[in-house]
Structure 1
Amino acid sequence: MAYLFVFVGGGLGAMFRHFVNNASSRMFGTAFPYHTFFINVSGSIVMGLIAGYFAFKSGSSQHLRLFLMTGILGGYTTFSAFSLDAALLYERGAVGLAILYVVGSVALAIGGLFAGMALIRAIT
């Protein structure tokens, strides 16, 4: 049943992301990735609101958490999960690990993207 909640929430989140992408392109153009910027920031804010709420409402169901956080926000943006992980490391006092996680994730993700593109260019 948990997978169903994630599946449905993920579809809704992905649909909303597509809507924001289209609306942003029409409103602001495509010279700057406003859509991704907005999605990452707004998703992180919503993740903070939900995580904060669930931290103080221990009676919340696991299915609701999965539907909202893993499903909807996971389909909308995984940056919100990244932001939450970094904040949790920081709040646990693991500042060095938080910095390593943030810098490493960004550098390796962008580096991996360039490596993947270079590999495809080399073999095609």
Structure 2
Amino acid sequence: MFLNAIAVFIGGGIGAVLRFLTSLAYLRFYNFNLPLATLTVNLIGSFLLGLLIAYFDGASDIPENVKCAMTIGLCGGFTTFSTFAFEVFDIIKRGEYFIAIFYTILSVFLCVLVAAAGYYWAKNYVYY
């Protein structure tokens, strides 16, 4: 149990740093009205989570702490629901209600879709 917690800590730290670097890259190169950095990390993280779950489903020889580090830690640290919620609230504060609703629906729908796509792609084409 303690090893799993340490693994989540390490994976989460790596994921958070990757998210931070992605955000910096977006701030430097893009200036959109939508928070695309958060959408990007959430989509990549959701797809990666789907891939990992598919892989771990058929791999009983992988230690539990590695699974925890990769899924809960790395993917959990890389993706961000709290930033997503803050950014939607910020859009609402600016009075852009349609954009807030659109972004919320788009984010949730696409993240679930790419998680499923990652899972089924891995199951059917990578880990068969």
Gaps of 5+ in 1: 88-124
Which structure is larger by alpha-carbon Rg, 1 or 2? 1
Matches within 5 A, 1:15-26: 15-26=17-28
SS in 2 for 1:73: helix
| Aligned CA distance change for structure 1 residues 78 and 65 (closer, same or farther; 3 Å) | farther
- Could you give the per-residue CA deviations for residues 47-66 of structure 1, whole angstroms, max 9, x where no partner exists? 01111111111221101101
Gaps of 5+ in 2: 82-110, 117-128
Count of residue pairs the alignment pairs up = 84
Q: TM-score, normalised by structure 2?
A: 0.59
| Aligned CA distance change for structure 1 residues 15 and 48 (closer, same or farther; 3 Å) | same
Of 29, 39, 42, 1:40 maps to 42
Q: Which runs of 4+ in 1 moved over 3 A?
A: none
Which structure is higher in RCO with an 8 Å CA cutoff and minimum separation 6? 2
- Could you tell me how far 1:31 is from its partner in structure 2? 2.1
**What RMSD over aligned residues (CA atoms) do the two structures have, in Å?**
2.2
| Equivalent position of 2:90 in the other structure | none
